């Protein structure tokens, strides 16, 4: 008998075909809303689950799923998974790093350009019929070329952002928990700086670090206060890294020039204070949203499911300590 899995969100035919060859699949192509009770009901007899970033896997859900052995996130971020609970129960958890780096970096650079050149504000201006005669000071923005890019989190996506910045002849500085290798620094022409120094010197501050409790509100009122009044903050990492009330106040008072956001602390809800502002470009967490990349993410998560449920080790295991504990052993 094939193992049983649940795919919680709409997915693509390639992913369904692959998973159906290995598992008995309960999918959600109907796009049902799977709140916590519905998720428990659908998952109680399953061996594995393929989830998206919006699905919360916590102790309450795991209590209702005695057969569950694999939690496979079709995402790089995994703050929706209680890793400690999974590990304690011997449930292996995975993510999908590597397959979406360039796609997310493309969107990150579009946020830089959109915020710096006031693209969404300018489009609204035009659509509302407000464009009259040419004015020398109409919708003046900030130059991106030759500016200083400050990257907080020099992982795969941070390095992809740095490669794009080089095409704009930008100076690249970065802050990271551990310094990048000399080869990486040389290849990207990137300089490591302490966080406060980066914030004070960068024209564009780009957040590409993973979320963790230690990173919660890492960018708050004090940190924003160190930034230039002409600076732009771009976040395509996780919303909880930024104190959105402090950011909204700084944008409203023009203490920084603009922001570009693809992620939010309470998503899908968005802080109402941000919605009132013209100097912030806001997107609905679409960093990886191209068909090719979303298929690749789904297939990567599906391959992790196969590895776990067929007794192997997945390629992107988040909690290796679970290997020796119970269900995942």
Name the catalytic one among 40, 255, 285, 325. Answer: 285
d(CA 242, CA 239): 6
Q: Which residues contact 261 (CB under 8 A, 6 or more apart)?
A: 111, 234, 235, 239, 274, 280, 281, 282, 283
Active site residue 123: no
Report the Cα–Cα distance between both ends of the chain, in Å, rounded: 20
Write the CA distances from 214 to 66, 116, 210, 274, integer angstroms: 32, 29, 10, 24
Active site residue 128: no
Name the catalytic one among 22, 156, 164, 267. Answer: 267
Q: Which two tokens stand for residue 107?
A: 């969107």
Active site residue 238: yes
Name the catalytic one among 89, 238, 294, 303. Answer: 238
Q: Which two tokens stand for residue 305?
A: 């499911």
Going by C-alpha positions, the residue among 232, 238, 236, 189 that lies closest to residue 213 is: 238
d(CA 160, CA 175): 15
User: Which residues are annotated as catalytic?
Assistant: 238, 267, 285
């Amino acid at each position: 008998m094939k193992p049983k899995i649940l795919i919680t969100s709409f997915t693509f035919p390639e992913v369904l075909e692959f998973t159906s060859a290995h598992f008995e699949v309960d999918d959600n192509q109907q796009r049902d809303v799977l709140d916590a009770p519905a998720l428990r009901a659908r998952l109680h007899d399953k061996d594995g689950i393929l989830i998206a970033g919006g699905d919360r896997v916590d102790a309450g859900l795991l209590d209702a799923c005695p057969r569950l052995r694999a939690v496979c996130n079709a995402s790089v971020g995994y703050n929706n998974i209680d890793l400690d609970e999974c590990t304690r129960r011997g449930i292996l958890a995975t993510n999908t790093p590597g397959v979406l780096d360039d796609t997310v970096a493309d969107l990150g650079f579009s946020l830089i350009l959109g915020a710096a050149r006031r693209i969404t504000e300018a489009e609204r201006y035009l659509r509302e019929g407000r464009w009259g005669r040419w004015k020398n000071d109409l919708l003046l923005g900030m130059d991106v070329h030759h500016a200083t890019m400050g990257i907080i989190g020099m992982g795969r996506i941070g390095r992809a952002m740095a490669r794009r910045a080089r095409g704009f002849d930008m100076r690249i500085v970065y802050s990271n928990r551990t310094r990048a290798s000399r080869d990486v620094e040389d290849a990207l022409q990137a300089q490591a700086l302490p966080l406060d120094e980066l914030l004070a010197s960068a024209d564009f501050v780009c957040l590409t670090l993973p979320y963790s409790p230690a990173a919660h509100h890492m960018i708050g009122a004090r940190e924003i206060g160190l930034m230039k009044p002409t600076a732009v903050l771009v976040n395509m990492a996780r919303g909880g890294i930024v104190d959105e009330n402090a950011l909204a106040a700084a944008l409203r008072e023009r203490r920084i020039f603009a922001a570009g956001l693809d992620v939010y602390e309470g998503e899908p809800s968005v802080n109402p204070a941000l919605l009132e502002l013209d100097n912030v470009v806001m997107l609905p967490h679409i960093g990886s949203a191209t068909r090719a990349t979303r298929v690749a993410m789904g297939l990567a998560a599906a391959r992790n499911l196969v590895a776990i449920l067929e007794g192997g080790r997945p390629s992107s295991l988040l909690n290796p300590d679970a290997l020796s504990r119970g269900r995942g052993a």
